[in-house]
């Protein structure tokens, strides 16, 4: 990234940046170089963000998708005793329900003083530091929303999109009655409920991970990743080491992160999972269904330069338009009511 930063410094050190510096740099080029920096820096701050595919949502701010509520009836298939033999099968169709979600915008403002006056290396470092800090804050806010969603008491933002805390939940077993993707959980709407492994307030045991994987397989799910707090990750690793159960290699992902695995399933920590259990405590772990989550992005993170109130100050804001989509809610698993990590 050093070359990009040098080029950006050359552009920013000119006497005016109002319309760009022609013919070498224009305003568009400056924005492009800043956005290149954002793209390079964003993966460095969150393991969880890097594990969720980012999928473009062009031309609309809302997505509607169907999930199956019932399979077709058993009369739609059957064996025949001979080639071309007849049977009593009749056409049948299952039922689906529509879910929907709208993109939400997240914005991080930044500014630097004495922009035009100090054309020096120290000034350039200040710009670089401010931009990197803005990216770190922006990615951190995204991670908060991915985990805690609209629960402001658990780090989330009530005006944001639904996160794992709302999506991986259950009315039948846990009693959650919230609305997610336009549907209010209620008795009988089991197509909205995740599978639940009850920790019964006991200390964490590795067998809870096994139980979660079994519960997922029983509904035709496939393990995607375990999502846990950092303290829970320490607890899991300690128990796995004591039992000599590090049989699978660790997984290296974008951003230089290396994740532990259990039975080949990545264990992904987040600093915001420590409030995702009951009463905003660290009593819940998640197991996602493979390929189940996507970050639907209407506008990828970019910078916008804006006029500042001071003549010797420049700045702008980073913004992203996105929401977290889950394709099949029943194939996720929550390990619920586990004792707070002992570490």
Q: Radius of gyration (Cα) for the chain, nearest Å?
A: 25
Residue 310: band (very low, low, confident or very high) from pLDDT cuts 50, 70, 90? confident
Residue 3: band (very low, low, confident or very high) from pLDDT cuts 50, 70, 90? low
Average pLDDT, the chain: 85
- Taking the C-alpha atoms of residue 317 and residue 305, their distance in angstroms, rounded to an integer, is 7
Q: What is the pLDDT of residue 111?
A: 84
Which residues does residue 29 pair with via DSSP β-bridges, in sequence order? none
- Taking the C-alpha atoms of residue 152 and residue 261, their distance in angstroms, rounded to an integer, is 31
Distance, first Cα to last Cα, the chain: 38
pLDDT of residue 108 exceeding 50, the answer is: yes
Q: What is the pLDDT of residue 279?
A: 92
The answer to whether the CB of 275 falls within 8 A of the CB of 154 is yes
Q: What is the pLDDT of residue 94?
A: 79
pLDDT of residue 236 exceeding 50, the answer is: yes
Residue of 298 and 91 predicted with greater confidence: 298
pLDDT of residue 81 exceeding 70, the answer is: no
Q: 13-56: per-residue pLDDT in tens?
A: 444 444 443 334 445 566 777 888 899 999 999 999 999 999 99
Q: What is the pLDDT of residue 122?
A: 53
Burial 196-228 (b: 16+ CB within 10 A, else e): bbebeeeebeeebbebbbebbeeeebebbbbbb
pLDDT of residue 11 exceeding 90, the answer is: no
Mean per-residue pLDDT, 113-138: 70
The answer to whether the CB of 73 falls within 8 A of the CB of 95 is no
Mean per-residue pLDDT, 144-154: 96
pLDDT of residue 4 exceeding 60, the answer is: no
Q: What is the DSSP letter of 247?
A: -
The answer to whether the CB of 332 falls within 8 A of the CB of 194 is yes
Q: What is the pLDDT of residue 25?
A: 41
**Beta strand residue intervals within the chain, DSSP E:** 20-21, 25-26, 54-56, 62-70, 95-102, 104-113, 179-180, 183-184, 195-198, 223-228, 251-253, 257-262, 265-269, 285-289, 293-306, 313-326, 333-336
Q: What is the pLDDT of residue 20?
A: 40
């Amino acid at each position: 990234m050093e070359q990009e930063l040098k080029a950006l410094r050359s552009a920013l050190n000119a006497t005016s940046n109002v319309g760009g510096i022609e013919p070498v740099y224009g305003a568009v080029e400056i924005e492009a170089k800043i956005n290149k920096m954002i793209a390079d820096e964003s993966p460095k701050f969150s393991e969880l963000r890097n594990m969720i595919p980012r999928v473009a949502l062009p031309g609309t701010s809302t997505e509607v998708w169907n999930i199956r509520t019932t399979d077709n009836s058993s009369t739609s298939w059957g064996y025949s005793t001979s080639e071309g033999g007849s049977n009593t099968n009749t056409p049948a169709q299952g039922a689906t329900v529509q879910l929907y979600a709208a993109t939400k915008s997240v914005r991080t403002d930044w500014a630097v003083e004495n922009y035009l006056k100090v054309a020096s290396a120290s000034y350039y470092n200040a710009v670089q530091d401010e931009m990197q800090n803005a990216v770190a804050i922006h990615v951190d806010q995204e991670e908060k929303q991915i985990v805690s969603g609209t629960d402001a008491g658990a780090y989330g933002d009530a005006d944001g999109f639904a996160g794992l805390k709302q999506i991986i939940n259950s009315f039948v077993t846990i009693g959650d009655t919230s609305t997610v993707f336009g549907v209010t959980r209620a008795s009988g709407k089991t197509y909205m409920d995740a599978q639940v492994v009850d920790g019964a307030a006991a200390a964490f045991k590795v067998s809870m991970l096994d139980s979660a994987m079994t519960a997922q397989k029983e509904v035709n799910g496939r393990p995607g990743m375990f999502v846990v707090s950092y303290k829970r990750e320490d607890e899991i690793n300690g128990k796995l080491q004591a039992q000599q159960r590090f049989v699978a290699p660790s997984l290296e992902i974008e951003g230089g992160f290396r994740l532990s695995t259990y039975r080949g399933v990545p264990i992904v920590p987040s600093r915001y999972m420590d409030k995702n259990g009951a009463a905003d405590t660290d009593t819940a772990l998640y197991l996602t269904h493979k390929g189940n989550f996507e970050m639907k992005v209407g506008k990828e993170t970019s910078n916008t330069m804006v006029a500042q109130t001071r003549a010797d100050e420049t700045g702008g804001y980073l913004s992203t338009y996105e929401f977290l989509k889950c394709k099949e809610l029943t194939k996720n698993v929550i390990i619920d009511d586990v004792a707070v990590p002992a570490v």
